[in-house]
Copies of this chain bind each other. A is one copy, B any other.
Amino acid sequence: MKHSNMKNDSMIPPVDPPSLAERIRLDMDSFTPSEKRAAHLLLSHYPFAGLDTVAEFATRAGISAPSVLRFVTRLGFSGFPDFQKHLREELEAQLLSPLAKASPLDKSQGAPALASFAEAVIGNLRATVENIAPAEFDAVVELLSDPRRHIHFTGGRFTGALARYAESHFRIVRSQVDFIEGQPALWRDRMIEIGKKDVIVAFDIRRYQEDVTALCETAAKQGATVVLLTDPWISPIARVARHVLPAHIVAPSNWDSSTGLLLITEALVAAVTKRLWETAKPRMEAVERLRNEKP
């Protein structure tokens, strides 16, 4: 006679705990107003907000102690200490295994639209990584880590946003970083300052934009180094580019997906930040300090 009442303990031993935070998020609708306030406080400083006393938690959330108690009870804990114990254990587990992230938890059929789209995007990312020569990637990191260079980001209609995204990060990591609008009228005059010391990082995918191409050609003619992030069909900018990093972009959509480009961008940001850590760290700290001074 089997005692297999439990389904979970059959084969998969250490199933990643469905983080309490995630559960709270999903149940958010079913909470009363004051429970929501408790939930938001907890999630916004997860899980540290929950490690204080009930009174402290209640005050910070702007509700009463009993409401906090009702909140944790509703989450299924026998009491506040029980709740705290869970938080501690979760935190410890998470900290001990830094790679406990990709938690394949509930198999609740996600929105099919979203799920299938995601699978396609993931396929793109894998293909993108495989088709980029490590040497090329490293060379670009090297280039962007050179403090004597000026870095200019630019992009087309849709990819311009990615260029801005890159610029907003690199601007903090290092100096001499800016963004150039695609329209010729907006950059013509700036070109007089572009020379051998400059690097243009251009984002351009199909329906390649002529104005971005023109920008890069002009810059290259003046001696600038051009780095191109594009699609597998390669923008014509490649003719003047020193380095080309292509990303797969086809998705089940009427539009192309830029996720691969973003992946490369973020990987570049991460690598350059690490490379320039000695100088980047104080810059990041300074930015953080300024942020905190505002209020």
* A contact set with B: CB distance below 8 Å: 13-14, 19, 21-22, 25-26, 28, 36, 40, 43-46, 48, 51-52, 88, 91-92, 95, 98-99, 101-106, 108-115, 117-118, 120-134, 137-138, 141, 157-158, 160-162, 164-165, 168-169, 207-208, 210, 232-236, 238-239, 244, 246, 248, 250-255, 257-259, 262-264, 266-267, 269-271, 273-274, 277, 280-281, 284-285, 288-289, 291, 294-295
How far does the Cβ of A144 sit from chain B's closest Cβ, in whole Å? 13
> Contact at A274–B161, with CB atoms within 8 Å?
no
Q: Are A133 and B238 in touch, CB under 8 angstroms?
A: no
A132 — which chain B residues lie within 8 A by C-beta?
A: 110-111, 114
| Cα of A289 to Cα of B109 in the assembled complex, Å | 30
- Cβ of A233: which chain B residues have Cβ within 8 Å of it? 21, 43-46
Chain A, interface SS category: helix
| Chain B residues within an 8 Å CB radius of A258 | 165, 262, 266
Query: CB-CB < 8 A to A251: which residues of B?
Result: 266, 270
Q: Is the CB of A254 within 8 A of B274?
A: yes
How far is B36's CA from A239's CA once the two chains are assembled, in angstroms? 8
Which of B22, B133, B138, B164 contacts A164, CB < 8 Å?
Answer: B164
Q: Which B residues lie within 8 Å of A133 (CB)? A: 26
- Considering the complex, give the chain B residue whose CB is closest to the CB of A15: B285
Can you give 24 contacting A-B residue pairs, CB < 8 Å? A14-B289, A21-B232, A26-B131, A40-B236, A43-B233, A45-B233, A51-B88, A101-B250, A102-B274, A110-B129, A110-B132, A111-B137, A112-B134, A113-B267, A113-B270, A118-B129, A122-B126, A160-B164, A160-B168, A251-B266, A252-B270, A253-B269, A255-B269, A259-B263
Bound-complex Cα distance A255 to B43 (A): 20
With a cutoff of 8 Å between Cβ atoms, the chain B residues found around residue A207 in the complex are: 291
Q: Which residues of B contact A95 (CB under 8 A)?
A: 95
Q: Which 3 A-B pairs have the closest CB atoms?
A: A102-B123, A111-B134, A253-B270
Known A43-B234, A134-B110, A238-B40: A48·B123 in contact at CB below 8 Å: no
Instruction: Tell me, in angstroms, the Cα distance from A166 to B266 when the chains sit together.
Output: 18
